[in-house]
Amino acid sequence: MTEPLLRVENLQTHFASELGTIKAVDGVSFDIPRGGILGMVGESGSGKSVTGLSILRLLGSRNATIAGGRIMFRGEDLLTKSEAEMRAIRGGSISMVFQNAMTSLDPFFRVGEQLVEVLRLHQGLSKKEAREKALNALELVRIPDPVAKLKSYPHQLSGGQRQRVVVALALACEPDLLIADEPTTALDATVQKQIIELLQEINQELGTAILMVTHDMGVVAHMCRTVAVMYAGRIVEHGDVADVLRTPQHPYTRGLMASVPRLRTEAVGEGHVRQRLYQIGGSAPLPLRLTDGCAFAPRCPEVGPECWEVDPPTVASGAGQEAVCHRRAEEKAALTEVVQHVGA
């Protein structure tokens, strides 16, 4: 197997707080191959956004530190890069799109000026060349009337158009990897779908790999090839989307799947569609991790005594699907025993 485009190994991102060190990302590892799409799902506070920001080292606030791990991008560790080298990478070979489409553009500059600024910065183009490339970028995101849009201010565009411009800004320099942090949450449902489809098309046309950070299982099912489920700063399950969605292993993933609303066509009673939505009890914890044990234990329907005290092991099931859970480990051990027994 060739080297992946991005390999994150045992990433640790910590925040200093009054309550102690918050391990927002606590030993996260994953790969994204060239042209791949990885979905990263979890509740707010699970550390999925912080993971995305850590890759570009954009944590900003003074009390956030990347305390350990490696972020190998095209074979080089981003954590050893200087700030100037990182600036060349940001927007150049790795781009990021954030969730607030309405406010992600500078209201005081024209769309064209903002595109030209980034293009000239990374590719050292002349003004004329940059303008041409800016136009290409707008065409790429299929914005209607791109020539006129170059001269527009952000407030003159609709929410969907603004998000398309943001995507154009991120893709202008043809990056290898796009980190999309909930890029559709602030948008209408129909616009959401368009943006998701746009990202998919771009992935196919340009081969841009995408790290899709989202809380929406639907988005993952729609566009991702692999998925990682985060809970309290750790990946609790990962694998191919088809496997994880069909046979979720971790109780948290099962809960997430059960809480995705879906329309059934079967008629209930007098043609009403009726289904009770599953809800995971309790709320996401602050990842302070004061004790060992599984962080999901307080909310887990399958919790046992060892879950409170011992870190759960990683259990593989099927092709590349892995979950971190005592219950699954037990079941697998029991199964192996049966198999051995039968075999003996």
Partner 1 sequence: MTTTTLGHKAVSPVAAGDTVAAHIKSRSRPALMWRALRRDKAAVVSIGILVFLTLVAVFAPLLAPYDPLDGDASQRLEGIGTPGHLLGLDGQGRDILSRLIYGGRYSLTVAVLPVLAAAPIALLIGMFAGYFGGRSGNAVMRVLDVLFAFPVVLLAIAIAAVLGPGLSNVMLAIGITMVPYMARVVYTATVQESAKEYVEAARAAGATQAQILRQQLMPNVLSPLVVYGTSLCGLMIVLAAGLSFLGVGVTPPAPDWGVMTSDGRSVLLEGYGHVATIPGLVILVAALAFNLIGDGIRDALDPHKQTS
Partner 2 sequence: MAGYLARRAGSMILVLLGVSVLVFLIMQLVPGDPVRTMLGPTATAESIAAVRADLGLDQPLVQQYVSYLGGLLQGDLNTSLTMAQPVAEIVFPKLGNTIILAAGALVICLVIGVPLGVLAATRQYSLFDRGAMFLSLAGASVPVYWAALVVISVFALKLGWLPTSGMYDVREPGGLGDLLRHLVLPAATAAVVPTAVIARLTRSVMVEALQQDHIRMLRANGVPERQIVWKHALRNALPPIVNIVGLQVGYLLGGVIFIEVVFSWPGLGGQLYTSITSNDMPIIQAGVLFIALVFVVVNLIADIVVALLDPRTREAVG
Q: Which residues bind partner 2 (CB under 8 A)?
A: 56, 58, 60, 86-92, 95-96, 98, 100, 103-109, 117-118, 121-122, 153, 155-156, 166, 169-170
User: Which of partner 1, partner 2, none is residue 128 near (CB under 5 to 8 Å by kind)?
Assistant: none
Q: How far apart are CA 220 and CA 84, in angstroms?
A: 34
| CB 329 to partner 2: min, Å | 39
Question: In this complex, which beta carbon is closest to partner 1, that of residue 190 or of residue 291?
Answer: 291
3-state DSSP assignment of residue 108: coil
From its phi and psi, is residue 120 left (phi > 0), alpha (psi between -120 and 50) or beta? alpha
284 part of the interface to partner 1, by CB under 8 A = no
Q: Choose which of 44, 61, 82, 291 interacts with partner 1 (CB under 8 A).
A: 291
From its phi and psi, is residue 27 left (phi > 0), alpha (psi between -120 and 50) or beta? left
User: Which of partner 2, partner 1, none is residue 228 near (CB under 5 to 8 Å by kind)?
Assistant: none
Q: How far apart are CA 83 and CA 89, in angstroms?
A: 10
Question: In this complex, which beta carbon is closest to partner 2, that of residue 63 or of residue 336?
Answer: 63
Task: Please count the helices (runs of H) and the strands (runs of E) in the chain.
Answer: 11, 12
Question: In this complex, which beta carbon is closest to partner 1, that of residue 112 or of residue 285?
Answer: 285
Q: How far apart are CA 343 and CA 328, in angstroms?
A: 22
Q: What is the DSSP string of 190-221?
A: HHHHHHHHHHHHHHHHH--EEEEEES-HHHHH
Residue 98 CA, distance from chain mean position: 11
Question: In this complex, which beta carbon is closest to partner 2, that of residue 181 or of residue 243?
Answer: 181
User: Which of partner 2, partner 1, none is residue 18 near (CB under 5 to 8 Å by kind)?
Assistant: partner 1
Question: In this complex, which beta carbon is closest to partner 2, that of residue 92 or of residue 248?
Answer: 92
Q: What is the DSSP string of 301-315?
A: TT--GGGGTSPPPEE
Q: How far apart are CA 319 and CA 323, in angstroms?
A: 12
Which residues are bridge partners to 178 per DSSP?
95, 210
User: Which of partner 1, partner 2, none is residue 292 near (CB under 5 to 8 Å by kind)?
Assistant: partner 1
Q: Choose which of 259, 292, 316, 336 interacts with partner 1 (CB under 8 A).
A: 292
Question: In this complex, which beta carbon is closest to partner 2, that of residue 81 or of residue 225?
Answer: 81
63 part of the interface to partner 1, by CB under 8 A = no
User: Which of partner 2, partner 1, none is residue 309 near (CB under 5 to 8 Å by kind)?
Assistant: partner 1
Where in 14-43 is the site for partner 1 (CB under 8 A)?
Answer: 18-19
3-state DSSP assignment of residue 187: coil
Nearest to 254 by CA among 267, 270, 271, 237: 237
| CB 202 to partner 2: min, Å | 17
Q: Find out whether 164 and 158 touch, Cβ atoms under 8 Å.
A: no
User: Which of partner 2, partner 1, none is residue 125 near (CB under 5 to 8 Å by kind)?
Assistant: none
Q: How many residues does the chain have?
A: 344
Stretch that binds partner 1, among 34-42, 48-56, 233-241, 290-298 (CB under 8 A): 290-298
Question: In this complex, which beta carbon is closest to partner 1, that of residue 261 or of residue 305?
Answer: 305
User: Which of partner 2, partner 1, none is residue 281 near (CB under 5 to 8 Å by kind)?
Assistant: none
Question: In this complex, which beta carbon is closest to partner 1, that of residue 35 or of residue 298?
Answer: 298
Where in 293-322 is the site for partner 1 (CB under 8 A)?
Answer: 298, 305, 308-309
CA 24 to each of CA 15, 46, 60, 68: distance values in angstroms, whole numbers, following the listed order: 7, 7, 15, 12
Question: In this complex, which beta carbon is closest to partner 1, that of residue 250 or of residue 289?
Answer: 289
Token pair 């090839």 is at which residue? 225
- Note the residues at the interface with partner 1 (CB under 8 A): 18-19, 285-286, 288, 290-292, 298, 305, 308-309
